[in-house]
Amino acid sequence: MMPAVVRILAALLAGYITIGGACAQGSAPAVTADVTPHIGQVSKDSVWVPTPERLIRRMLQLADTTRDDVVMDLGSGDGRVPIYAARHFGSRAVGVELEANLVRLSLDKARAQGVAHLTRFIEQDLFEVDLTQASVITLYLSPGAMVKLKPRLLALKPGTRIVSHQFTLEDWEPDETVRVEGRTGMLWLVPSDVRGNWALSMPGDALRIGIEQQHQALRTSGTRAGQTANVIGARLRGTEISFTAFDRNGHSRQFHGRVEGARMSGESFSEGGGALPWSATRE
Ligand SMILES: C[S@@+](CC[C@H](N)C(=O)[O-])C[C@H]1O[C@@H](n2cnc3c(N)ncnc32)[C@H](O)[C@@H]1O
């Protein structure tokens, strides 16, 4: 055990510590600084229980993780998720962990597994870190922590992928769910904001489309030259939108496109009619 005076000094110095190329920084003094890590150890928003490797792999696959991603594990325990992302997906990866003993263990493991240059461990409260640098966020926390995190996750850049082991985001339904060894992994894509009225144009046609939105669930209505036009089956997956609209002759056409702020654009297809480009702007 570390003497009390050393513990106090360690807490004071917790602002910035660099170990072997990886860095640990933070504002909250750890409660387990001199304790050997043990499964079940208690922290602020969750106890430490590790995710099995097979589920980590599946969750990172679900998020389509690549070497271009920055993976951030909020409440990173012994660092196994960032280390796995770096070793097997080539990603840069950040672990945020409040407990000093687990941060130390993560740094040791990252070095031993040859990924210290790709990983970073931050000793800090996960509710105080900037999440905007991450393109993939991984979670295994508690129901209460998920409730608190939800508004911050929804405010992230559209298309950011969020994967959680076990815990849901209340009424924000996952885009995909997997089961591995009796455990659940879920994926959410931060949805673009598509609420409002859109003027859509394409060769030979123009439509006005109204969209109501609750997370990724959409309700649409349409008009063409002041007459009701059927726009149905709208789906939003991050920044990708798709829907079906019917032309003047009652023939259906599938629209697929990408949302970029106040503009959407893509291609549309009708049976036997070939592809036509379309674009829409928010009114
Ligand atoms: C269930 S464990 C998950 C560990 C790791 N993500 C995994 O999947 O193997 C949750 C971790 O979150 C940490 N934790 C709890 N509250 C935290 C907070 N407010 N800020 C940072 N870490 C926290 C705990 O110390 C614990 O290591």
* Per-residue model confidence as pLDDT tens digits over 161-191: 999 999 999 999 999 999 999 999 999 999 9
- In this prediction, residue 30 carries a pLDDT of 53
- In this prediction, residue 6 carries a pLDDT of 34
- In this prediction, residue 273 carries a pLDDT of 77
Going by CA atoms, what residue is nearest to atom 9 of ligand 1? 50
The angle, 0 to 180 degrees and rounded to 10, between the axes of the packed helices 80-89 and 100-112 is: 20
How many other CB atoms are found less than 10 A from the CB of residue 40?
7
Is residue 81 within 8 A of residue 93, CB to CB? The reply is yes
Confidence of residue 130 (pLDDT cuts 50, 70, 90): very high
Give CA separation, 29 vs 24, 78, 149, in Å: 12, 18, 22
- pLDDT higher at 147 or 271: 147
Which whole number is the average pLDDT over 216-236? 96
Percent of the chain with pLDDT over 90: 84
- In this prediction, residue 14 carries a pLDDT of 29
Confidence of residue 9 (pLDDT cuts 50, 70, 90): very low
Residues 6+ apart with CB under 8 A from 106: 76, 77, 78, 79, 82, 83, 95, 97, 119, 121
Verify whether ligand 1 is closer than 6 Å to residue 232 (CB atom): no
Strand partners, 259: 264
Which whole number is the average pLDDT over 205-230? 96
Going by CA atoms, what residue is nearest to atom 25 of ligand 1? 43
Verify whether ligand 1 is closer than 6 Å to residue 81 (CB atom): yes
Mean pLDDT (the chain, rounded): 90
Confidence of residue 33 (pLDDT cuts 50, 70, 90): low
Using CA atoms, how far apart are residues 140 and 32, in angstroms rounded to an integer? 20
Going by CA atoms, what residue is nearest to atom 23 of ligand 1? 75
How many other CB atoms are found less than 10 A from the CB of residue 171?
9
- pLDDT higher at 264 or 16: 264
- In this prediction, residue 31 carries a pLDDT of 59
Q: Helix or strand or coil: residue 258?
A: strand
Q: How far is the centre of ligand 1, averaged over its atoms, from the C-alpha of 74 (Å)?
A: 7
The torsion angle over the Cα atoms of residues 32, 38, 42 and 45, rounded to 10 degrees, is: 100
Verify whether ligand 1 is closer than 6 Å to residue 167 (CB atom): no
Using CA atoms, how far apart are residues 115 and 118, in angstroms rounded to an integer? 5
Using CA atoms, how far apart are residues 70 and 138, in angstroms rounded to an integer? 11
Domains of the chain: 17-189 (3.40.50.150), 196-282 (2.40.128.120)
Using CA atoms, how far apart are residues 268 and 253, in angstroms rounded to an integer? 6
> pTM for this structure?
0.87
Q: Using one digit for the tens of pLDDT, what is the confidence trace for 107-126?
A: 999 999 999 999 999 999 99
